[in-house]
Structure 1
Amino acid sequence: MTKTVLSVDDSPSIREMMAFALEPHGYTVVQAEDGNDGLRQMSANNIDLVITDLNMPNMNGIEMTRAIRADTRFDGVPIVLLTTEGQREKMIEGKAAGAAGWIVKPFDEQKICSIVKKMIG
């Protein structure tokens, strides 16, 4: 059964790079442009893993992580924050919100694939 990854980023090129990295390995990639769109996609699709940017307009990655964690329909769905920031306090805030991991941009395609495989098979 194909696993589905939700890529949430306000940059279309980052979303496309995520799809380019994961789809050849058999993953379906659903894209969203901000946290609000991400929540809509969570409700409309059977998402196995969320990879979200931290800094986005309308609803950022930490706010979206909190909203996902507050909804029991999404219990057990891992969330990974993808950002250009390496600040320890933001990492702690993300973990406290319910994120399972943190990847700093620019990301390495092999690293993304390895993390996704480790988290959802």
Structure 2
Amino acid sequence: MNHRNPGDSEAASALAAVHPHTRGALLSAISTDGVLALTRALRDADLGDETAATAPVSSLLRALPGMGALTAHELLRSAHIKEHDQVRDLHPDQRAALVQIISHLEPPHPHPLYPEG
């Protein structure tokens, strides 16, 4: 016997959109939603989300719109984070530095030949 409510699948879909369960979905969310999704991934890692916790910080940074590999490397270096460090490996001072850095990132400007909308 199925004891699920009719709205359960809709709620599960909404939750999956907010909390991706695969690395690809997590990176896709960050590439779409930018710093907001990256901040959410850091929070989710603290709350026990294994996908977010085991993600390499470098991959999450490189998923940000407009973020190149060299810029990501420099940001990691300034926060004293190694390229291979996972989110769960971060010490509180590294996490604080990362949050400070990403809070100052500007969203990329749309390409003049391909405006948004």
Per the normalisation by structure 2, the TM-score is: 0.31
The higher-RCO structure (CA 8 Å, 6+ apart) is 1
Larger Rg: 2
Name the structure where helix makes up a greater proportion of residues: 2
Name the structure where strand makes up a greater proportion of residues: 1
